Amino acid sequence: MKLAVAGKGGVGKTTLTVWLGDYLARKGEDVWLVDADTALSLGPALGLGEDQVPTPLVRHKDLIQERVGSGGFINLNPRVDDLIDRLSLEVREGLHLLVMGTIAGAGSGCGCAPNALLKALLVHLVFQTSQHLLVDLEAGVEHLGRGTVSQVDGLVVVSEPSLRALNTASQIGSLASDLGLKQQALVLNRTDQDFVLPKDKSLPQVAAVFPPLDSLQKRQQSSSSVLDLEDRERIDALCEQVLNRFS
């Protein structure tokens, strides 16, 4: 299963990405989390310190030069099959982290060297690996507008019950549909169960509603990690609802 997770900034898409990955890993699956957001929040959400997070691929200048080149001689199909293990970290059994950084212009024909390598690696992960893949996208609609993840199996759109967040979710869903990505699911975060979606919004079908969690709020006062919360059993049940939408 290869999924991308998108939404307005601050709605909890990175948190959900971690919860989905952790849930699958504890079920014995091999899971790869890809941080494709400039905020680079997946590592901290997994409980990693700054010195533990893998260096983003966009900062490996020598590697980019070696595989892609520069100037007017750019290899748009570089070898990347050996880079996954080299640039990733196994956070816990079955749960791996790969930090890409921004995939600027992927899908739009951008020929810049860093982007060529980023795009090639993402395509390899989507088409050539059997692992579960969860891509934490840049906040907003930028990635969908560039066609970055048009070949994944599905898109999880995360939103809070606010007008701005729902407007962004609607834009994301529409852009994804235009790219041919019809498999979509909406996850409402920090939302009461009796919340009613506005009828004038074109949104993916709701897969799960995550309520405000006291254990998460308490944890965030002292740690960036969102793992192993007291509400884990409840979180697991909701993650299963989300994943079942794509099975």
Give the integer Cα–Cα distance in Å for 83 and 42. Answer: 19
Tens of each residue's pLDDT in the chain, 247 residues: 999 999 999 999 999 999 999 999 999 999 999 998 878 899 999 999 989 999 988 888 889 889 988 666 788 788 898 988 888 999 999 999 999 876 554 344 444 777 778 778 888 888 877 789 999 988 876 666 555 566 789 999 999 999 999 999 999 999 888 888 889 999 999 999 999 999 888 999 999 999 999 999 999 999 999 999 999 999 999 999 999 999 8
Q: Which domain holds residue 24?
A: 2-244
| Tens of pLDDT, residues 173-227 | 998 888 888 899 999 999 999 999 998 889 999 999 999 999 999 999 999 999 9
Find, among 145, 64, 146, the residue nearest to 100 by Cα: 64
What CATH number is attached to the domain comprising 105? 3.40.50.300
This prediction's pTM: 0.91
Number of domain units in the chain: 1
d(CA 19, CA 92): 13
C-alpha R_g of the chain: 18
